[in-house]
A and B are shown apart, each in its own frame.
Chain A
Amino acid sequence: MTNQEKYNKAFMTALEITEGQLSGLKYQEIEAWDSVGHMGLVAALEDAFDIMMDTDDIIDLSSYEKGMEILSREEYGIVF
């Protein structure tokens, strides 16, 4: 599974959405992505990539695209 596939799967599983809903998806735009859903999403991403996200990055994770930007940083080193 590619990193992109892992990333998408984490979103789809944690938020119970389809692949077609991913692009442009923003925090609190859908009912499932509330603050509780957010922590579930973070857990799914951490499990998928064997990382622990910093609190600042968890707060900063405001959209599907922003998440990829954060995980691409040197400290996580995920290549999409």
Chain B
Amino acid sequence: MIEIKLPSLGADMDEGTLLEWHVKPGDEVHKGDILAVVDTTKAALDIECWHSGRVHDLLVEPGQTVKVGTLMARLLEPGEDAAAIPPPAPAAAAAPGAATATTGPVPPAETAAAPPVIPAALATRHPVSPAARRRAAELGIDVENISGTGPAGVVTLKDVELAAAHPAPAHDRGTDMRRLIATAMSRSKREIPHYYLSDDIPLRAATEWLRRTNLERPITERVLLAALYVRAVAVAAARHPDMNGFYVADAYRPSTAVHVGLAISLRGGGLVAPAIHDADRKPVSELMQALTDLVARTRAGKLKRDELADPTITLTNLGDHSVTSVHGVIYAPQVALVGFGEVSDRAWVNEGRVEATPVVTATLAADHRVSDGHAGARFLAAINALLQHPDQL
């Protein structure tokens, strides 16, 4: 028997809401098939199948919010007999939040913080008139989410009718995302002893290279400076393993692969930092295509699960906003974040002469449990050196 559990789609994800199943019991499925779509606070994500088999049963209903690791479905391996499969454990009842999930708009914060089992009667916070309770049941509305206007805050029939006419949004992604960022950033500042370094990097060679390169290219193949940043950071990270990896359970695990997470702001607030995979092995043009695609999909809410789950280092670029430098907050369990400010013409001494030169301030926020300022300085210097030779990047 193959168990399909809700995977973690990122270090900061602990639950997800099933939007729909793409399969039903009896369906043959193959490795790579999409089994279901799950909503997280960041995006709707596909749950892929990693095995081939036949769907035995589905244990989570669309609309249900469940914890990471909850058994969602069971598959029969090829040749396996359905009769040999035990009946499912009462997974729905055991999963925290499952009891409230199908009843309507429950704030996820309550779901997440709630102890595993709350008897429904104890959870009642305000009185409800019998007529209101009946009507709410008919309409499929959870009376717990209606504020009462009757005597002593009693929920009346009228309150229920009003709530039915103006349903609250089921899921406020903006609020959820703010809370998620708050959790991740607080954890980072609590647990990671950050140290910060900065380096002014002249970009004459890089901007000239971009101008020449883009002159010959159609608009669909033009390159932005951001792609050079990704490339330089990725190549430098591959050479400096103490900047590229994860700090988990009091131990550092460097990563051999370099997946550069890009902090991408969302319209209307919030941000996501999905990864460009193996960025150290992709040439600049390919990185530019990946970057364009990633930004478009991030803003459309269509990221793949591994893009969210596995960046090994993060890059943030605030160059569009007249910012000199950015001292970032590291995304735990990563151990470093590189930031770029705005490129501006500054008086720069080159071979004894002062010249107006485009310069950017690059910064590093790194985890002092893993590396020291000396190592961080060498890493930033490597980025600087790489950006001086864009034709070799």
**A, B co-complexed:** no
User: Using a CB–CB distance below 8 Å, which chain A residues touch chain B?
Assistant: none
Residues of B within 8 A of A (CB): none
